[in-house]
């Protein structure tokens, strides 16, 4: 029987290269795909080196203009609506995975492999694919899979999901790939700063800055550049720093407050997606929430109220620095290590 044809997504980082090496050792029929996001002419030499080292053919896709346009559009929309921007999550959920599945169908591969640190495996009892968080919660990348359906999860090969970081580092060192392609990485912060400058140039708006208690703090000249979670210095008191809680683009108002005094009892979520259920269709569910800035699970009761929108009622309110969650962030609902699904924060309620 011929070996499975597997499309390996290569970023040039050590995780994806270790992934390709591990799968090559298993005798799978591999072909690599590398999305060139920066257009550096030196990249071709590096890719040729990867091909020799891994013994596979790698297709380079010139995606610089396409990906840049996509990301800037997402950034502009996010900044204008005041959402916190997790570019890595946006890029994977809305660009990279859709592109990979297009390639899979077009070239008739059976599987897609990547170096993401998340475990996906089939439950022998329920006969569904389940997603589990990586052993190190700080390195867990299960949020990047939010939105994938059962057939898509079943076609993923993620060998690093149950390999400890120390072993990944050891293999990468032996392959001499540690930091080999750092100069070709996409700089997410630079991309964000470019979008901010574009908005300042084209759509600068003055806005009233209001504290959560209603007192006027002043105006902000670069309203379009603010997003939820940003810090705001009081122009009349350099010692006072506020966190931006919400941005109202209709009334041109920025709502700020001291993070240490924040209390959140309820979250409104949008774009909710399940991993192991065909649709939402439920009245309520008790589970826990996690997000990238707060890996500790928070007990909640989820309630679906409109399509793929949900409410999360927190059993214990988030207070002070624990309430460091803002509009636009991706959250996951979990039970133990299993990830049930996820969504984006639409608003936080006291």
Q: Describe the crossing of helices 165-175 and 14-25 by its angle, rounded to 10 degrees.
A: 80
Residue with tokens 């076609």: 155
Residue 296: pLDDT over 80? yes
223: left (phi over 0), alpha (psi -120 to 50) or beta: alpha
Task: Give the mean model confidence (pLDDT) for residues 160-167.
Answer: 92
The highest-confidence range among 63-72, 233-242, 323-332, by mean pLDDT, is: 323-332
Report the pLDDT value the prediction gives residue 1, as an integer from 0 to 100.
Answer: 46
Report the pLDDT value the prediction gives residue 231, as an integer from 0 to 100.
Answer: 83
Residue 178: pLDDT over 70? no
Cα separation, 3 vs 109, in Å, equals 11
Cα separation, 158 vs 183, in Å, equals 25
Cα separation, 262 vs 254, in Å, equals 16
Could you tell me which CATH number the domain at 204-260 has?
A: 2.30.30
Could you tell me which CATH number the domain at 5-116+158-189 has?
A: 3.40.50.620
Per-residue confidence band for 268, with pLDDT thresholds at 50, 70 and 90? very high
Report the pLDDT value the prediction gives residue 253, as an integer from 0 to 100.
Answer: 82
Indicate the CATH number of 262-349 among 3.30.70.20, 2.40.30.10, 2.20.28.90, 2.40.400.10. 2.40.30.10
Per-residue pLDDT of 29-53, as tens digits, reads 999 999 988 777 888 888 888 898 8
Residues 6+ apart with CB under 8 A from 84: 78, 227, 228, 229, 326, 327, 328, 329, 345
Closest by Cα among 4, 1, 22 to 112: 4
Q: Whole-model pTM?
A: 0.86
The highest-confidence range among 7-21, 54-68, 80-94, 105-119, by mean pLDDT, is: 105-119
Would you kindly state where each structural domain of the chain is located, as residue ranges?
A: 5-116+158-189, 204-260, 262-349
Tell me the DSSP string of 234-302.
Answer: -TT-TT-EEEEEEEETTTTEEEEE-GGG-EEEEEEEEEEEESSSSS---S-EEEEEEETTEEEEEEEEE
């Amino acid at each position: 029987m011929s070996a499975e044809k597997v499309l390996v997504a290569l970023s040039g980082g050590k995780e994806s290269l270790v992934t390709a090496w591990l799968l090559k050792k298993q005798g799978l029929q591999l072909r690599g795909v590398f999305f060139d996001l920066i257009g550096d002419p030196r990249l071709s030499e590096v890719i040729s080196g990867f091909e020799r080292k891994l013994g596979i053919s790698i297709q380079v896709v010139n995606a610089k203009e396409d990906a840049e346009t996509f990301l800037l559009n997402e950034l502009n929309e996010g900044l204008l609506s005041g959402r916190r921007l997790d570019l890595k999550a946006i890029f994977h959920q809305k660009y990279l995975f859709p592109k990979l599945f297009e390639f899979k169908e077009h070239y008739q591969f059976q599987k897609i492999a990547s170096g993401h640190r998340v475990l996906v495996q089939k439950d022998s009892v329920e006969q569904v694919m389940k997603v589990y968080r990586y052993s190190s919660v700080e390195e867990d990348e299960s949020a990047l899979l939010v939105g994938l359906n059962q057939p898509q999860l079943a076609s993923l090969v993620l060998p690093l999901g149950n390999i400890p970081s120390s072993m990944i580092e050891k293999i990468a060192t032996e392959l001499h790939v540690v930091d080999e392609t750092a100069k070709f990485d996409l700089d997410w912060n630079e991309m964000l700063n470019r979008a901010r400058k574009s908005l300042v140039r084209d759509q600068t708006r003055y806005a009233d800055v209001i504290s959560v208690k209603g007192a006027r703090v002043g105006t902000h000249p670069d309203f379009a550049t603010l997003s939820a979670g940003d810090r705001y210095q009081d122009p009349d008191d350099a010692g006072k720093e506020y966190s931006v809680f919400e941005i109202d683009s209709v009334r041109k108002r920025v709502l700020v407050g001291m993070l240490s005094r924040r209390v959140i009892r309820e979250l409104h979520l949008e774009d909710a997606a399940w991993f192991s259920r065909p649709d939402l269709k439920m009245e309520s569910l008790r589970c826990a929430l996690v997000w990238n800035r707060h890996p500790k699970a928070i007990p909640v009761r989820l309630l679906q109220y409109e399509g793929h929108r949900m409410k999360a009622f927190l059993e214990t309110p988030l207070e002070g620095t624990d309430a460091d969650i803002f509009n636009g962030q991706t959250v996951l609902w979990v039970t133990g290590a299993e990830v049930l699904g996820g969504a984006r924060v639409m608003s936080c309620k006291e």
